[in-house]
Structures are given as structure tokens and as C-alpha cells.
Amino acid sequence: MPDCRLLWCHGSLSQPWGAKSLALADVAEEFGLTMEGPDFSDLADPDERVERLVSLLAEDDRPAILAGSSMGGYVAAAASMRARVPAAFLLAPAFYFPGYAVHVFPNLPGRVTVVHGWNDDVVPVDNAIRFAKTHRATLHVLADGHRLEGSTETLCILFARFLARTMADLEEGA
């Protein structure tokens, strides 16, 4: 089994451990991974969160799988361009927002999966479609809203598939 980390990046107004992240952490355990949940709640600025995450990633030389929701999805994607990140799992990522520093995402990991809700009233689904099309990311659009709270079971299935493929990729590269 590859030696890697898994970090969860929570959204703007949320805490590291909510129902969604706890459910995904349970899935991760099935793959021998312990999901870390850094607390970014003291930082309102998304790009300050990116800098903190990049610093956290630099403290450990193992590859890191990143997952994040909303602003945390943006943070994970932006940080993944500057660290050893083989894959990113992004839920309703807050892309293309005014005031966010990164709008072009070169050097993304080889595996990027985006999950978004058709009825998202915070981050337009068109932003996720634009990102996925531009970066050839895997995209799943669900009949749900921004928090994807009605899709926990589906998120867990998608995350398990994502982790299985990512771990296989890491195993091949080892």
C-alpha cells in the first residue's frame, strides 16, 4: 500500500469535521488512510488558506491526496499545483470567484474529480463545468444543492472509486 496522506479542506463558514467530511473519512479508512482535517476557520481569505495548506504539505514529503468542499475545493486545487499531490477530489468547488487569486490552474494533479449540485445557489454549476472541461477533470453533477447534503451515499461511492483508482496509480508508480 502506498504511503501517502489525505487532507480535507473545509468550506468558508464550516468547520473541519461535519457530516460530509466524517462520512468521507470513514470511506478513507477502508483504504488504510486517515483523513487529516486542518482547521482554516481563522482565515477568511481563500488564498491565505492556500498558503497555509502549502506549508502543511511541505512539512511532510509523502504525496498528499487532497479533498475539499466549496472554498476548500478551491484551496485544494490551488495548493495542488504547488505540492506533491497526485489527486484531488473537489465538492462544489468555489472556482472563478472575484477576489480569488487563481483562475487558471496549470499543473493540476493527473486525477481530479469534481462533484457539484445542479441546484447549487452559492457556486454556479457552470463554474464546475467550465473547470472540468478546461482541465479534463472527471465531473459528476447531482440533483442536489451546494452542501450536497442529500447525496452523502453517492459521495461516498464516488470517493471510494476515486481513492481506489488513486491508490492503484500510486501503487504502479511506486
pLDDT at 2 (0 to 100): 75
What sign results for the dihedral spanned by CA atoms 81, 130, 49, 167? Answer: negative
- Residue 173 pLDDT exceeds 90: no
Residue spans of the domains in the chain: they are 5-173
| Residue corresponding to grid cell 481513492 | 163
Please give the Cα distance from 153 to 158 (Å, whole number). Answer: 9
pLDDT at 140 (0 to 100): 98
Query: Considering the entire predicted model, what is its pTM?
Result: 0.96
Coil vs helix vs strand at 77: helix
Least confident range from 11-15, 22-26, 110-114, 153-157: namely: 11-15
Copy the grid coordinates of residue 79: 495548493
pLDDT in tens, 96-139: 999 999 999 999 999 999 999 999 999 999 999 999 999 999 99
User: Which is the CATH superfamily of the domain at 5-173?
Assistant: Alpha/Beta hydrolase fold, catalytic domain (3.40.50.1820)
Over residues 6-14, mean pLDDT: 95
pLDDT in tens, 44-99: 999 999 999 999 999 999 999 999 999 999 999 999 999 999 999 999 999 999 99
- 115 Cβ contact list (under 8 Å, min separation 6): 89, 90, 91, 92, 139, 140, 141, 142, 148, 151, 155, 158
Mean residue pLDDT across the chain: 96
